[in-house]
Amino acid sequence: MASKNIPAIYWDSAVFLAYINDETQRADTVLKLFDLAVAEKFRIITSTESIVEVSIAGYEKQGELLDPEIEKTLDEFWNNPAVTMIEPTVEIMLHARMLIRESIPHGWILKPKDAIHLATALWVDRYVFPVREFHTYDRKLKKYNAMIGIHIHPPIIKQPRLPKID
């Protein structure tokens, strides 16, 4: 595992799916960010739930044929030291339940799998090391920023600022 001084960013399954499904623009961003994580610029945190959620590529589902390269790519993700897998504990599941229940008064519906991802990020942030950001392509999760205290947004490559010209 990488040093605790390396910033942590949580990725939900939508980020991995964007790469596996070769989604336009998103896949390149995910690959570039993954390369930065491999270079220890930050660490990727995800729930072991992602293993199941990211089981097949979209084209495999449509064509009803499995591509062994997809499974190989997935295993490379999950086994890479840049990715820290967190197994949901009872405590994480209780946090997930709390998030689902606290969503109701706001008129929101939080799916259990999304609640587990949010709760995992929250648990890591509170008890292991700070989670700087939560990356997802699921726009509905952004509203949970305040509830978990972690900035939720799509993955982006931060560009350096150009020097000021006088």
C-alpha–C-alpha distance, residues 124 and 150, integer Å: 11
Q: Global pTM? A: 0.90
Q: Cα–Cα distance between 82 and 47 in angstroms, integer?
A: 14
Give the per-residue pLDDT at 162: 66
Q: Determine the pLDDT at residue 1.
A: 46
pLDDT confidence band for 56 (50 / 70 / 90): confident
Dist. CA 25–CA 22, nearest whole Å: 8
CATH of 8-87+130-153, one of 2.60.40, 3.40.50, 1.10.10, 2.60.120: 3.40.50
Q: Are strands 43-47 and 83-86 parallel, antiparallel or unpaired?
A: parallel
Backbone φ and ψ for 152, nearest 5 degrees, come out as -105, 125
Minimum mean pLDDT range among 61-75, 111-125, 134-148? 61-75
- What's the confidence (pLDDT) of residue 166? 65
Residue, of 70 and 160, whose pLDDT is higher: 70
Domain residue ranges in the chain? 8-87+130-153
CA distances from 91 to 33, 95, 117 (A): 30, 6, 13
Distances (CA, A) of 58 to 64, 68, 100: 10, 14, 28
Q: Which residue has the higher pLDDT, 12 or 64?
A: 12
